[in-house]
Chain A
Amino acid sequence: MKTQKRKAMFVILGLFTAIIITLLISLNMGTMRISPVDVFQTLIGNGTDQNQLILFDFRLPRIVIAILIGAAMAISGAILQGVTHNELADPGILGINSGAGFAVVLFLYLTQNSPVSAVFVLPLTALAGAVLAAFLIYSISWKNGVTPIRLILVGIGINAAFSALIIVFQLRMDPDNFTQATIWLSGNIASTNWSYTLALLPWILILVPFTLYKASTLDALNLGDETAQGLGAAVEKERMILLLAAVALAGASVAVGGAIAFLGLVTPHLARKLVGVGHRYSLPTTALLGALLLIVADTIGRNILSPSEIPVGLVVSLIGGSYFVYLLMKS
């Protein structure tokens, strides 16, 4: 136990350092190169106006958003995997992301001519969509209980249905909104600004610590329903609460960053590999891994085909998808 704790502390510290380093590299890369010295000068308040604009209004909010969404998606995946005893659960595969996406597209469609002051309403809309999707998946796969495999298959179906509905409403929008929605749906944090960060922040600040606090409950649930009951957990109630937290985290992230696939699937696996199965250490590791992966993916997306930007969701799909295929081959 003690060695596991030391190992976990080591991993968490390492990830933290990696995030800081990536953050600094990410700050000086981009269409406009800013040297590390200038980055430093700007950060302590001595930069040129242009550098200040680029760093504080474009790059920094984007990096902060990447950290928040990365952590949220990763935690959401970890909860889903713990609650369903299924290593393949993830908000993307289960259709929760596309449910949230559908709600947002519907909202944009209904309000397309009123100027969007909707920054703070969008997370709520997405949340409603995510809850709807989760409810559908859970109730359709319910047949004397929910088996993990049925849950996943139903999720794949729900995913396809919501994706089709998204297209129906998207096509009814005018071309500008259409393009905007397309870019957003492929998982994109390019056009972000501080108000999005502010809109997302409360969700993360409440739900992530809450989940960390529930780590022991997740451990109990992961042992199976009977054992968890034996250990004194109110299984159905706890599962409901944790599921809601997972759905809310996914919904809020989708509202700001679009549907980013595979992040919630891959990071809990990596975390378990690094620090073992106990949620007390694997949850914070998962969150940090998610944040790190998303900053790296966003930096790659911004620079690899510069000057055109690849939405971060596509980069994550490629990295995460390969790992997922690897997992499938091993299992």
Chain B
Amino acid sequence: MAVHSAKQKNSDKSRPFVASMILILGTVVLILSIALSVLYGAADINLQTIWHSVTQFDPTQSAHQVIRNLRIPRGLAAALIGAALAVSGAIMQGMTRNALASPSIMGVTAGAGFTMAIALAINPQPSSIMMMLSAFVGAGLGAGIVFGVGTISKSGLTPVKLALAGTAVTTMLSALSSAFTIHFNIAKDLSFWYAGGVASVQWVHVQLLAPVTIIGLIISLFLAKSITVLNLGDDVAKGLGQQTVLVKVIAIIVVLILTGAAVSVAGTIGFIGLVIPHITRFLVGVNYRWIIPTAAVLGALLLVLADTASRMINPPFETPVGTVTALVGVPFFLYLARKEGRGL
């Protein structure tokens, strides 16, 4: 609530022109960043080779193999995951009118990690689809607990309570996952899934991720108008004839699908879902029809750049991309905490 009243001055109207410019320019920059991300890596490969590996693929050349089978899927996956996380965050913040709502703060990612640990304990060589399904279930579990705590509590779901419940549930679920991994000796396997980032992404992951993310994005575009209304408050939305419960249920399902898909491929990547929606609202105003596509483009851009940066910090080793996004996101979070501290 506080975020909207505080931002009322500079963003109480929607700015379709700015939004369209960001969408067009953002997409161009995104494509360039994916190209940059394909270009940059441990093995030095020049632009011409990249072009050839796409146009005249030669399986005998290792450079072509690296580009086709490692770097291109990696860049695409980063873009899809960034978009998915940013849109989930935007929907969560719009729906709950809560400045701090986002997948990593609400226990969604920790829940997914927990069920993935269980899946690995049951079957040490799980298929990608099984991991994705267990991530969905876990994402629902984490969010369910955090929301449940907030709802049962007498004074309702304030932003601070949400952040605290999220922190507590995240700590507990991660503790349970660690206990599992230690007992079943699957710490390494889980960290491969959980903290792997997009480093080990293959085409099979992109094939799973792409349709899920795109369907999720399309549904959220259809939801956009309802979320804009919902953001005015439950009472107003009901007064305008909206079926708030139905909208909320669909929105939650979309969030779980998008987050679950992202987490099952890349593990915990924090702060994108928190930061990007705020920046987007600041840029394009309050209409979720523009917020959702813009957040998708900006989220994709941020994760592709963060992933590229994660390879530059400590070459030839990789830093988990979640660490990079955390280091970008924390200053922003602190800024929010300072700014909104009074009203939260």
Contact = CB atoms under 8 A, between A and B. Distances in A.
B168 A160 contact: no
Interface string A52-96: 000000000000000000000000000000000000100001000
A32 interface: no
A322 interface: yes
Given A149-B344, A318-B176, A164 B314 contact: no
B326 A261 contact: no
A27 B149 CA distance: 38
Task: Give the size category of B's interface with A.
Answer: 35 or more
A3 B344 CA distance: 40
Contacts of A165: 327
Interface residues of A, number: 44
**Which of A93, A161, A318, A328: most chain B CB closer than 10 A?**
A328
Interface stretch (B47-55, B56-64, B152-160): B152-160
A314 to B, nearest CB: 4
B15 to A, nearest CB: 29
Nearest to B170: A321
Contacts of A330: 153-154
A331 B157 CA distance: 11
Contacts of B161: 328, 331
A328 B338 contact: no
A24 interface: no
Given A153-B160, A317-B175, A325-B149, A161 B330 contact: yes
B163 to A, nearest CB: 6
Contact of A328 (B165, B314, B319, B344): B165
B179 interface: yes
Interface in A124-182: 140-141, 143, 147, 149-150, 152-154, 156-158, 160-161, 163-165, 167-168, 171-172
B164 A152 contact: yes
A141 B341 CA distance: 9
A8 to B, nearest CB: 29
Contact of A164 (B149, B168, B178, B330): B330
Interface in B301-344: 313-314, 317, 319-320, 322-323, 326-327, 329-330, 333-334, 336-338, 341-342, 344
Given A156-B167, A329-B153, 18 more contacts: A140-B334, A143-B341, A152-B164, A153-B163, A153-B337, A157-B334, A157-B337, A262-B171, A308-B182, A311-B182, A314-B179, A317-B175, A325-B145, A325-B165, A325-B172, A329-B149, A330-B153, A331-B155
Interface of B: 100, 145, 149-150, 152-155, 160-161, 163-165, 167-169, 171-172, 174-176, 178-179, 182-183, 185, 270-271, 313-314, 317, 319-320, 322-323, 326-327, 329-330, 333-334, 336-338, 341-342, 344
11 contacts: A149-B344, A152-B164, A161-B327, A163-B326, A168-B314, A172-B317, A305-B182, A309-B182, A314-B175, A324-B168, A328-B165
Interface of A: 88, 93, 140-141, 143, 147, 149-150, 152-154, 156-158, 160-161, 163-165, 167-168, 171-172, 186, 261-262, 305, 308-311, 313-315, 317-318, 321-322, 324-325, 328-331
